[in-house]
């Protein structure tokens, strides 16, 4: 009996050789071994070919859009906005840099002028070979947010770095934010080898790192908790970690994350955490199993990073997408979507008011558009202040047309009474640059009828408003719901 080691070369575009060991024996066993070896070689070549094909699979990007310059510059983490570049077959081959913040320029060691408008692959080392190009192309194609933690990446200097990557798709563009977490990665790898090494590394981290037992008690926390949240380690150690979670949603998410970690998996989530001052802060939490020397999961290790600025930016973008910037009322799209939901849900007793500013064009012509903007802002503030409860809503349909939706009115008379109150408040003088402008509104009032669509309801309110205009403006006119009209 003898043995031998053989290898096969990779198919084209693959990058590794495959070693196989075989034992050679005489007679029938020898034939079986040879057949097994041939099949193993065939299967190995097939696997390598599949890997090569998958490595070369083309991906398709989306198109690029605008961005917020000041927001980028205020971020400490590297952040870029990229536009996908396609070849003739609509496959992504690169990305063009549309914008970049200072942190990204510093990390890449490239001036902003060189980055802007240039292929990203020219400045980002190992862009294609690391698999980052394929990941970003998939983000551009599918729109699924990119979340890659501990992504291995070969830096320009040749060293292997670990990056946490976050990406999102916009209207034809993608954004990419990354954080070099090489130190954190190395620290977590060493946890299982030495508790002392873990503490030395964690105590020098700007993130808050803590260890909890299976009963949620904090066994250890890094000194950085004092600078980030105002608690001293002595105040936190021994307490139930859930005490610091500031919302029901965050506590529920903690339960889900803990179940994953105790099952041996990692988890990434956001948590609203209470500081010693009572202030609330958003933190991104990376949770990992804490294993004994025998490999048994005996608790959890979490790394928490402050993301208040990022959350505020996201909330600001969401607010801008829903709210009209001049009036502070809902924009047209958000208003129609919410009203449509109420109508489709057969919400009873909805009053709808269509308000039009009388002579608004004359105000703009006589005093300028800046004055007109002040008048719009004042009217928006007065309308918001007049709403009876959070269930009522108001929005801006167009330049000088405003809509109010009243929830749960007892009848048309109550809606008209509210409209009269609103009309009087709107007529109060508006202070502009030391002088006063008086703007009035004409209001059309109706109720949403059973089975009616949004267009029919708004059309009737609009007709009522034009009746108010025809009868001298600065007045309220109501049109009953058709099924309430008695013949």
Residue 322 has pLDDT above 50, yes or no: yes
Instruction: Report domain 69-180's class.
Output: alpha beta
The pTM (predicted TM-score) of the whole model is 0.44
Model pLDDT, residue 4: 47
How would you classify residue 27: left for phi > 0, otherwise alpha for psi between -120 and 50, otherwise beta? left
- On the 0-12 / 13-18 / 19+ scale of CB atoms within 10 A, 395 is buried
Up-side HSE of residue 254: CA atoms within 13 Å toward CB?
A: 24
For the chain, how big is the Rg over CA atoms in Å? 32
Q: 123: pLDDT confidence band, cut at 50, 70 and 90?
A: confident
Model pLDDT, residue 40: 53
Residue 222 has pLDDT above 60, yes or no: yes
Architecture, CATH, for domain 208-312 = 2-Layer Sandwich (3.30)
* CB-based contact 138:58 (threshold 8 Å): no
* Of 410, 420, 480, nearest in space to 447 by CA: 480
Residue 62 has pLDDT above 60, yes or no: no
Residue 8 has pLDDT above 70, yes or no: no
- Would you say domain 323-484 falls under CATH 3.30.70.270? yes
* CB-based contact 430:374 (threshold 8 Å): yes
pLDDT tens digit string along 239-268?
A: 999 999 999 999 999 999 999 999 999 999
The phi and psi torsions of 91 (rounded to 5 degrees) equal: -95, 145
pLDDT tens digit string along 89-104?
A: 888 999 999 988 988 8
- On the 0-12 / 13-18 / 19+ scale of CB atoms within 10 A, 123 is buried
């Amino acid at each position: 009996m003898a043995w031998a080691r053989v290898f096969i070369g990779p198919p084209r575009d693959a990058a590794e050789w495959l070693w196989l060991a075989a034992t050679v024996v005489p007679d029938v066993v020898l034939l079986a071994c040879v057949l097994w070896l041939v099949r193993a070689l065939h299967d190995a070549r097939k696997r390598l070919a599949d890997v090569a094909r998958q490595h070369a699979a083309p991906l398709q990007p989306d198109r690029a859009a605008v961005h917020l310059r000041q927001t980028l510059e205020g971020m400490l983490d590297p952040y870029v906005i990229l536009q996908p570049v396609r070849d003739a077959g609509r496959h992504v081959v690169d990305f063009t840099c549309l914008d970049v913040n200072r942190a990204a320029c510093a990390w890449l060691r490239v001036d902003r002028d060189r980055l802007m408008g240039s292929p990203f692959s020219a400045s980002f080392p190992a862009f294609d070979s690391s698999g980052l190009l394929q990941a970003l192309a998939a983000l551009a194609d599918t729109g699924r947010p990119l979340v890659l933690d501990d992504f291995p990446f070969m830096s320009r200097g040749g060293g292997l770095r670990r990056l946490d990557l976050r990406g999102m798709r916009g209207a034809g563009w993608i954004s990419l934010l990354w954080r070099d977490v090489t130190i954190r990665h190395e620290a977590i790898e060493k946890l299982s080898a030495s508790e002392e090494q873990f503490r030395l590394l964690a105590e020098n981290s700007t993130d808050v790192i803590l260890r909890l037992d299976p009963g949620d008690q904090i066994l250890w926390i890094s000194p950085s908790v004092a600078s980030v949240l105002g608690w001293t380690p002595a105040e936190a150690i021994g307490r139930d970690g859930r005490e610091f979670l500031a919302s029901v949603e965050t506590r529920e998410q903690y339960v889900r994350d803990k179940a994953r970690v105790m099952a041996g998996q990692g988890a990434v989530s956001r948590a609203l955490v209470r500081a010693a001052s009572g202030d609330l802060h958003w933190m991104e939490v990376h949770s990992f199993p804490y294993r004994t020397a025998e490999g048994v999961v005996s608790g959890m290790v979490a790394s928490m990073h402050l993301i208040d600025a990022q959350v505020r930016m996201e909330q600001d973008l969401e607010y801008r997408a829903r709210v009209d910037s001049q009036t502070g009322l809902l924009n047209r799209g958000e208003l129609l979507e919410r009203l449509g939901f109420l109508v489709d849900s057969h919400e009873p007793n909805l009053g709808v008011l269509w308000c039009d500013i009388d002579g608004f064009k004359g105000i703009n012509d006589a005093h300028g558009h800046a004055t007109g903007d002040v008048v719009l802002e004042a009217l928006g503030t007065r309308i918001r202040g007049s709403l009876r409860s959070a269930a009522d809503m108001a929005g801006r349909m167009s330049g000088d047309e405003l809509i109010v939706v009243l929830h749960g009115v007892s009848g048309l008379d109550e809606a008209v009474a509210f409209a009269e109150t609103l009309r009087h408040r709107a007529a109060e003088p508006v202070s502009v640059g030391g002088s006063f402008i008086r703007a009035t509104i004409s209001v059309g009032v109706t109720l949403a009828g059973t089975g009616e669509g949004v267009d029919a309801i708004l059309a009737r309110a609009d007709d009522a408003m034009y009746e108010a205009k025809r009868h001298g403006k600065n007045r309220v006119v109501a049109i009953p719901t058709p099924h309430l009209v008695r013949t």
